[in-house]
Amino acid sequence: MILEEKDLSSIITGAVRTWEENGEIHFSRFTEQQTELYAQKNGGELLKKTFATASMTLDFITDADKLSFDWFMREASSRRFYHFDFFVDGVMTDHFDAEKKTACARGHAEFSIPEGKHHITLYLPNLMMTTLYNVELHGATMLEPVKKARKFYFVGDSITQGYDAIYPSMSYVNRVARVMNAEVLNQAIGSEIFDEHILDADLPYAPELVVIAYGTNDFIKCESHEQFIGNAEAFFLRAREVFPEAQIAYISPIWRGETEKDNSPVGEFFTLAKELGALAEACGLFHIDGQKLVPHLSSFYSDLTLHPNDMGFSFYAENFVRAICEF
């Protein structure tokens, strides 16, 4: 069974748009309006990151004996590693290392499937733009999408986008989605700060839970404490307007090493994290204390100070689920 754009659009999760161009299937986490905003914002500085396939999966039921496809990777972050994770009935059975450490690359991948009908989940790379073509389910007589119990929407910075999970399925967003049987749309962007304008009232996605996770970049990029707090408050209030029926949670910044080396005019990092949490609560959001999510040890971070590794993300997801269940 050859899968065309209409087939892939029925089984892709984490994308609001799919289209075919030059024989390749493209997926986007962002609406055209949001993409245009990023094209204009700060001279298009963050535009390429909108093309990353963060938290996207092909999720379906099939009786095929193999999935195969050709892939094309393009740079869509400050990282150049890209991998696929393959799950059969909720169990990871393959991890495809496509890493070439180049800005773009092409390749081919194949994944074996046991005999019979199975639930298949393919995780796409979080930090690269991934397009697929020549997608085939060998020996398949059926293809069914999988309906999840919940719909979650994440916005945030590089940590929420997935920096630096080597296994894409191991980012905290993807772990949470798997544990809570939730479909997710992840619009996090590395280096991003609170910016109310990125919230699209016409987003074709109606989440029951919205998770906001900014603050660590604001600490570096904001020029004053007034700007720091003002941006956050505007975002919290705008989120309430755009998603009036959803529950909204805010994750304050997680542990950050060597903050004494970061000279910021807005204040001291850990004090500001508490201030953001209090502000979120004052705006009617549920606050999750980021300082309680990931161990305060450099070995749990890929860069020893900021971005969790796969081990760090395991704590992040576990503690997030525990906190959100109290919501």
pLDDT at 259 > cutoff 80: no
Provide φ and ψ at 188, rounded to 5°. Answer: -70, 145
Mean pLDDT of 240-263: 89
Torsion, Cα 175 180 182 184, to 10 degrees, reads -40
Determine the pLDDT at residue 103. Answer: 81
Determine the pLDDT at residue 102. Answer: 79
Interhelix angle 310-324/172-179, nearest 10 degrees: 50
Determine the pLDDT at residue 19. Answer: 98
pLDDT at 262 > cutoff 70: no
Q: Tens digits of per-residue pLDDT, 91-132?
A: 999 999 876 677 889 999 999 999 999 999 999 999 999 999
The count of residues in the chain is 327
Other C-beta atoms closer than 10 Å to the C-beta of 240 total 15
Provide φ and ψ at 85, rounded to 5°. Answer: -115, 135
Mean pLDDT of 255-270: 82
> Domain boundaries in the chain?
5-145, 150-324
C-alpha distances (whole Å) from 284 to each of 193, 267, 317 are 20, 24, 23
Would you tell me which CATH number, out of the four given (2.60.120.260, 2.130.10.10, 3.30.70.141, 2.40.160.100), belongs to the domain 5-145?
Answer: 2.60.120.260
pTM of the model: 0.97
> What CATH code would you report for 150-324?
3.40.50.1110
C-alpha distances (whole Å) from 163 to each of 19, 52, 189 are 26, 12, 10
